[in-house]
Amino acid sequence: MEERHLAGQTSGPALATTYEGNDPRLLERICPLVDYLEISPDSISQVTTQGCALNPAIMAELNSVARGTTFLIHGVGLSIASASGWSQDYIRLLDDLFSRLPVAWHSEHLAYTMVEGEQLGTMLPPPRTQEALDMLCERISFLQARYKAPFLLEKVVRFLPEYPGDYSEAEFLNTLARNTGCGLLLDVYNLECDQKNFAFDIDRFLRDLDLRHVVEMHLAGGVEYAGFQVDVHSQLTQESTLAIAANVLARAPHVRAVTFEYLKEAVPRLGHDAICGELQRLRHTLLSAEVGHAHIS
């Protein structure tokens, strides 16, 4: 399916943002500012007597207000790293979405959200063991065979002590990408959370990570709570996050989009004006051709 970009972006990374539905006035305002809209199947679906299904009201919004937009699908509930089985509901939602919307690629967190069918209520990264790697490679291959669109994995924030696995974070991601051909989604704010919470060495991680696999970057802002920097996307992007993003953009040759992420629950506090202003700021400061050349030189 041919991609159609709203903002006429022709070269370099595109700009995207999240939309979770039920706010058509916001949708009207953000569509002209971005090249892609990122939607989460989990947020735009509901449970019916027949099981999980896309919410018809939100689908109608997307088909009317966002007509002509190309979408990025970003999941939460696939639970790709659950040893006891991933979410078949999510796969059905993906089937439906791919048949109804133009999708450039889809992504999921490198995490598990359920165990033996029970929801954790949060997402946890899998231990970086050979067993986990083999399982993930098999599942990624399944997704790639089922859908034509590329698939990306996102490293998540961790809040627990590190499991003594077989691979470093970068090695694990590099091996997944190399073995399967999947892409990587790099959430820059997540890196900062890990840095603040566990003295994660961002520079070393970025040196070790094969940045050729990075296809999308997420930008967001969050808050400190109970001594942790948490990945609640409730704020605008901080300058420190933008600096890391610019560094990655200068070194990652295949980044196709930078996505500003925010939670639906944060919209009333942030306001539509601030969200639109942030999108304009990101395009101007991070994605304009002049900025890109400056970083590379």
Residues that bind other proteins (CB under 8 A): 42, 45-49, 52, 76-77, 82-84, 112-113, 115-122, 124, 126-127, 129, 131-132, 135, 158-161, 163-166, 197, 225-228, 230, 232, 265
Closer residue to other proteins, CB minimum distance, 95 or 265: 265
CB of 222 vs other proteins, minimal distance in Å: 12
Closer residue to other proteins, CB minimum distance, 42 or 192: 42
Closer residue to other proteins, CB minimum distance, 12 or 127: 127
Distance CA 286, CA 136 (A): 33
CB atoms within 10 A of CB 150: 18
Closer residue to other proteins, CB minimum distance, 142 or 167: 167
Distance CA 169, CA 128 (A): 8
Q: What letter would DSSP give residue 284?
A: I
Instruction: Show the DSSP H helices in the chain as ranges.
Output: 24-30, 56-64, 88-100, 130-146, 169-180, 188-198, 202-208, 239-251, 267-270, 272-282, 289-296
By the 8 A CB rule, do 91 and 52 touch?
A: no
Q: Which of 209, 161, 154 is nearest to 185 (CA)?
A: 154
CB of 127 vs other proteins, minimal distance in Å: 6
CB of 83 vs other proteins, minimal distance in Å: 4
Closer residue to other proteins, CB minimum distance, 120 or 243: 120
CB of 158 vs other proteins, minimal distance in Å: 8
CB of 194 vs other proteins, minimal distance in Å: 11
